[in-house]
Amino acid sequence: MTISISLPNNITIGGADFTLMAGPCSVESYEQTYAVAKSMNALGLRILRGGAFKPRTSPNAFQGLGLEGLKILRSVADEFNLLVISEVLGVEHIPLVTEYSDIIQIGSRNMQHFPLLWAAGEQPKPILLKRGFMSTISEWLAAAEHIASRGNQKIILCERGIRSFDSSTRNVLDVSAIAQIKETSHFPIIADPSHATGRTDLVPAASRAAIAAGADGLIVEVHPNPKEALSDGDQSLPLESLSAYVDDVKRIVSAMGKKL
């Protein structure tokens, strides 16, 4: 049976509740983050995602604002009474990220960074553990157990797509993994349709599939102007389409007997 994770502001991940986390891939400015958070608040969304430290494939790509980005996230979230989720890249970043974030994200590339998993498990805040894009389900669950072995059981799994030979999408959303996790693990699981598809036009369909497979939530990327985004613009929902997207998600969530 899936455990439920209680968060501040009466937010629960798992059980009968469905959680939709949203926000920009990278925190670029106060104005950008504020615009997204304002729309989220109006739609009843309560967890703001945003990257302050960005592990990009190319060292020449935008690497995030670091501490400044975390401060922007926290300031904007507090203004709208939202929680913050942001990624930690290394053991040395954990004290800093935990100071500003309510949920600590461990990204796909770090799923088997064991010293990071151990350090994350020794702090009390919930941890979102993304599946490695070339990792099996058993390897993913073993990584979660590394965290749990250090005392922290507040783990949220995230299916974010796995690598395949097909280049038409960024990755392939493993919907069957969501269903299998619901049967074999007590940790709640959410899906990341943005990274799974790499295409804005496919995010709604991937979201519906994940919900139907039993996901406890979604984490999606949203940007006021995706064409000018410093990272992942091709997979970010335009801010003006967020309302229609949320309505679509609510319909499927309700059909699955949950509430957003």
Q: How many domains does the chain have?
A: 1
Beta strands 5-7; 11-13: pairing state: antiparallel
- Helix (H), strand (E) at residue 39: helix 30-42
Q: Using one digit for the tens of pLDDT, what is the confidence trace for 205-247?
A: 999 999 999 999 999 999 999 999 998 899 999 999 999 999 9
What's the CA gap between 5 and 14, in Å, rounded? 7
Give the residue among 86, 93, 95, 156 at the shortest CA–CA distance from 126: 156
Position 57 scores a pLDDT of 73
Structural domain boundaries, residue 233 = 17-55+62-253
Position 61 scores a pLDDT of 73
Position 27 scores a pLDDT of 96
pLDDT tier at 59, thresholds 50, 70, 90: confident
**Residue 3 in domain:** no
**Residue 107 in domain:** yes
Please say whether the dihedral angle defined by the alpha carbons of residues 179, 185, 189 and 194, taken in this order, is positive or negative.
negative
**Residue 259 in domain:** no
> Is residue 122 a contact partner of residue 150, using CB atoms and an 8 Å limit?
yes
**Residue 225 in domain:** yes
> Is residue 218 a contact partner of residue 203, using CB atoms and an 8 Å limit?
no
Count the helices and strands in the chain (H runs, E runs): 9, 11
What's the CA gap between 190 and 208, in Å, rounded? 12
> Is residue 73 a contact partner of residue 48, using CB atoms and an 8 Å limit?
yes
What's the CA gap between 46 and 43, in Å, rounded? 9
What's the CA gap between 178 and 168, in Å, rounded? 22
What's the CA gap between 72 and 87, in Å, rounded? 14
**Residue 28 in domain:** yes
CA 56 to chain centre: 16
Position 220 scores a pLDDT of 98
**Residue 6 in domain:** no
**Residue 10 in domain:** no
> Is residue 116 a contact partner of residue 88, using CB atoms and an 8 Å limit?
yes
Q: Is the pLDDT of residue 248 over 90?
A: yes
> Is residue 56 a contact partner of residue 63, using CB atoms and an 8 Å limit?
yes
Q: Using one digit for the tens of pLDDT, what is the confidence trace for 140-194?
A: 999 999 999 999 999 999 999 999 999 999 999 999 999 999 999 999 999 999 9
Give the residue among 236, 224, 260, 137 at the shortest CA–CA distance from 187: 137
Beta strands 127-130; 103-106: pairing state: parallel
> Is residue 200 a contact partner of residue 190, using CB atoms and an 8 Å limit?
no
Q: What CATH number is given to the structural domain containing 130?
A: 3.20.20.70
pTM beyond 0.75, yes or no: yes
